[in-house]
Structure 1
Amino acid sequence: METINEFSIDEIEITKNVEKLFKELFPICRSITGNGVRKSLKILNHVTEFTVKEIPSKTQCYDWIIPDEWNITDAYIEDEEGKRIIDFQKNNLHVMNYSIPIDKWMSYEELKKHLHTLQNLPDAIPYRTTYYKRDWGFCLAFNDFCKLDKQKKYHAVINSSLELGSLTYGEYNIMGNSGKEFIFSSYCCHPSLANDNMSGMILWIILLKILKSLKLKHSYRFALVPETIGAIAYLAKNEEMMSKVDGGFVLTCVGGPSKFSYKETFLENCFIDKIVDESFKESNVDYIRYPFDINGSDESHFSAPYFRIPIGTICKDKYYEFDYYHTSLDNLNFIKSKSIVDTLKIYLKIISKLEKIEIIKNKDNFKIKKAKNKTLTSLNPFCEPMLSKRNLYPSTGGQIAQKAVNFSKNHHSREYEVDENNRHSGLMIDALSWLMFYADGINTIEDISKRSGLKKELLYKATKILVDHKLVLINE
């Protein structure tokens, strides 16, 4: 086996493999459970082997429960002449992910309640989900929505199933002998969205294949999970081992055409952040540096108060920051195989630097401590609590405002933002999430205000909600 310092990659061969995976993975309708995930993991397993595991529906994972498994075969809306005006077979984003079965004729006014569009991005089909509420819906371009005849009746059909099954994920552990361990995670739950996050899945499997061929000093844990519920379930199933992980990365949004960016770990200037900066500089690559934010992918779960794993994220067109995020325009015309290869090279440089590390500052210094006065302590320190079951989060997911929709937000607030007093507003949900993340017995509301940029008045209101729901304690 070669050491990583001696290793060079065959860019031409890797590019061919990336483009082959583009074609194989993009059409698949993935979700947080179901056959789409299994089919995708089977394709990736042909690149290099990893273990596929299942967690049964109804399994308790900290504050969350694995939902029933969802599968879909067809869906459409047809008019009175039998013409399909929305067709799942043409684009799987047309159906709100996790929609229940439906077969019903209805008026335009009734149908309209179940349609999702983006008026400010009128040619794009939005991506929407209803994971934890039994509901149904269709998504379509606003321009097509405007063509619907308000006087006609429409036939809505969704051939789907929601029943006991399991959540599927992939993992592989490369064992070193140094006692240090790092995690590379990605998510496999998005349907036909190319940058977010088919690109991350492809980078994940190629990086795994390369590292398996090397002689490595440290251990490297690879996890490919459905976003949020999969990461939380993975932490619950591997709690002891994950509590010892020293750092890592979420591989996501690495296929876009724009410049590199890096989202810092929650520690902001730890060894992970420094190594990333060194790697970009040595590669003569300019990049945008974003501060840590609790909104994003699974880094906030891995960095929850109990685990406090510093997780970084390198992107090429970061989530929230590109116009086509969570829409049908995030397609194969948007991403580039070269972007994935270029990101791979940065990660290999980072890993080569990780291999040289001898001393890592003990991340236990940042875990929950004996509470100080006026601080907050989480009563659910292992992961983000499930806010939707407490009616603190909307039941329809995916509703992040695309960059093209609104450039005026300081935070990447969701489309359903109303005001800070509304518990479903983007600002209030941000406040709840920031408080839960930093409720470690160390930080006060004033500290959290400085870290998050949110007003203390808003955080005090959010704290009362969390206390009422028995999610945090105020240490007097």
Structure 2
Amino acid sequence: MLSLQELEKVFDALWFLNRSITGDGVRETHKILSNYIPLNTYEVPTGTKVFDWSVPREWKVNQAYIIDPDGKKLCDFSENNLHLVNYSIPFQGKLTLNELRPRLHTMPELPSAIPYKTSYYRETWGFCLSFDQYNCLKEGIYEVVVDTELFVGSMTISDFLIEGESDKEILVHTYTCHPSLAINELSGVLVTLATASALASRSDNYYSYRFVFAPETIGAITYISQNFEHLKASLIGGLISTCVGHDKEYQYKSSRSGESLIDRAIKCYFTRNSSKELIWKEFSPSGSDERQYCSLGVNLPVGSLMRTPYHQYPEYHTSLDNKNIISFDALLETSNTYVEVFKLLEENKVYQSTTPYCEPFMSNYDGLYFNKDHRFASDLTKAVKWLIHFCDGKSDLFSISEKSGLDIYLIVEAAKKMHSCGLLKTID
């Protein structure tokens, strides 16, 4: 289990690395993470076909900057890696300000922020700078240096499998491809790391747990393409971990069906923990890598449990998405929530009654029948009665909790007592 201090230490180690969908920044990121969990890291070569996509060329930045007419260096990549449009092709030359302007990207609505821009699949180059800095540019000749390389290389992916009693799996997937963004990049990485660390320390996991670190979109597509049959056969639910660094309410984007096991586990958990506010969002074809897992031909039960999602906070995809706005307390709390949801999934079993012909004589079974006043059954006894009538070998505990309106943890407790008394048997 990682502490707040360890999470912050990892954040600081990862912050300045130049991550993209390929490259040494990603490799170094995964190497640092492997100090905390035993990652299986591998490379997927440029040109590898993955469904309708191909793994792109690898990208490397040697240096990138602009020299203004007064000889001052601007947009220096070595000072902030957001200054260079990610995946810029090489360029060196002298341009007038009017010639340079179309290559400069700003955010007038956030005049002090450097925007984050990419050009993965369209060969071009450009620089990002604050609107305040842009407004100070003077007429004249600018020297531009974009010393980058695009070459046949590979894309880095890592995963980590915690084997449980069952070979059925729960997935947590996050991306490692954004440079120097706190909420939109490192929050998901840190929550995934903390969750993996917590579950790896448990010796009684029923399900197996798979953790994936890959570049967004192309990485998810590649991972699904190369593991599709296994995922289809084994995955019972999963979460995309992204935008989990705010201390605001939780937001859940459901799987495509909206009624998968992971969706129902989220509903049950937050209904029980009413102090944690949850905003429920139905699946839509925009967002992060749940789009790939929920695509028509794949259709795996994967949602995304976030705090303040992409596009909903003003600093999104800018230099203002930094350590000043991330909450390490929220990261740890969110990881704990992931773990608790997964524990609830493990408790959700299908039972069958061993005494289906009328109610059993409950006074024969210790701990099942309580009523100080004969007019009113205790909550536990109410749960027992519901289980007697609905443990048909098909209905799981989530559905019985939903149908009865009784607390899911009460239903779980009653089912365990009945199972130990021999009144219920589990159905695999």
Q: Which moves more between the two structures, 180-189 or 266-275?
A: 266-275
TM-fit CA distance, 1:359: 5.0
Distance 1:27 1:258 in 2: 26
CA distance in 2, matches of 1:35, 1:92: 14
> How far did residue 94 of structure 1 move?
0.6
Give the deviation of 1:213 after TM superposition: 1.9
Higher deviation after alignment, 261-270 or 39-48: 261-270
SS in 2 for 1:39: helix
* 1:18-417 matched pairs, under 5 angstroms: 18-149=7-138, 151-214=139-202, 215-244=204-233, 245-283=235-273, 284-358=275-349
Q: CA deviation at 1:46?
A: 0.8
Q: Indicate if the aligned counterparts of 1:180 and 1:246 stay in contact, CA closer than 8 A.
A: yes
Q: Which has the larger Rg?
A: 2
The answer to whether the 8 A contact 1:243-1:306 is kept is: no
For 2:106 and 2:57, how far apart are their aligned partners in 1? 27
Q: State how 1:420-435 maps to structure 2 within 5 Å.
A: none
Matched residue of 2:59: which SS? strand
TM-score normalised by L of structure 1: 0.71
Cα drift, residue 325 of structure 1: 0.8
* 1:254 partner letter: V
Deviation at 1:240, TM superposition (A): 0.9
**Root mean square deviation, CA, Å:** 1.5
Q: 1:103 to 1:298 in 2, by over 3 A?
A: same
| Helix, strand or coil at the partner of 1:322 | coil
Distance 1:359 1:152, change over 3 A: farther
Q: 8 Å contact 1:27–1:192 — kept in the other structure?
A: yes
SS in 1 for 2:309: coil
1:395 maps to none
Letter in 2 for 1:164: V
Distance 1:359 1:78 in 2: 68
Distance 1:176 1:348 in 2: 14
Counterpart amino acid of 1:99? S
Distance 2:178 2:100 in 1: 25
Q: Specify the alignment match of 1:404 in structure 2.
A: none
Displacement, 1:281? 3.6
Contact map agreement 1:248 1:312 (CA 8 A) in 2: yes
Structure 1 position 200, deviation (Å): 0.6
Q: Which amino acid aligns with 1:152?
A: G
| Structure 2 Cα separation of the partners of residues 356 and 101 of structure 1 | 55
**Deviation of the 1:335 alpha carbon:** 0.4
Is the partner of 2:143 in helix, strand or coil? strand
Q: Give, in angstroms, the shift of residue 107 of structure 1.
A: 0.6
The equivalent residue for 1:418 is: none
Does the Cα contact within 8 Å between 2:171 and 2:238 map onto a contact in 1?
yes
Q: 1: CA distance between counterparts of 2:57 and 2:172?
A: 27
2-structure distance, mates of 1:71, 1:204: 27
Distance 2:169 2:188 in 1: 21
Aligned partner of residue 324 in structure 2, secondary structure: coil
SS in structure 2 opposite 1:33? coil
The CA distance in 2 between the partners of 1:343 and 1:281, in whole Å, is 16
How many residue pairs match? The answer is 348
Tell me, yes or no, if the aligned pair for 1:47 and 1:206 is still in contact at 8 Å: no
Q: How many angstroms does 1:297 deviate by?
A: 0.7
Deviations 1:33-55 (A, max 9, x none): 00010010011111121110100
Larger displacement relative to structure 2 (330-339 or 276-285): 276-285
Rounded to whole Å, the distance in 2 between the matches of 1:236 and 1:315 is 25
Identify the residue that residue 375 of structure 1 maps to in structure 2.
none
Counterparts of 1:258 and 1:212, CA distance in 2: 28
Amino acid paired to 2:22: T
Partner Cα separation in structure 1 for residue 236 and residue 249 of structure 2 = 28
Mapped partners of 2:72, 2:350: distance in 1 = 66
Contact 2:64 2:76 in 1 (8 A): yes
Distance 2:334 2:163 in 1: 24
Give me the whole-angstrom Cα distance separating, in 2, the residues matched to 1:130 and 1:251. Answer: 24
Partner residue, 1:381: none
* Structure 2 gaps, min length 5: 352-428
Aligned AA for 2:290?
A: E
Partner of 1:426: none
Q: Distance in 2 between the 1:187 and 1:289 partners?
A: 23
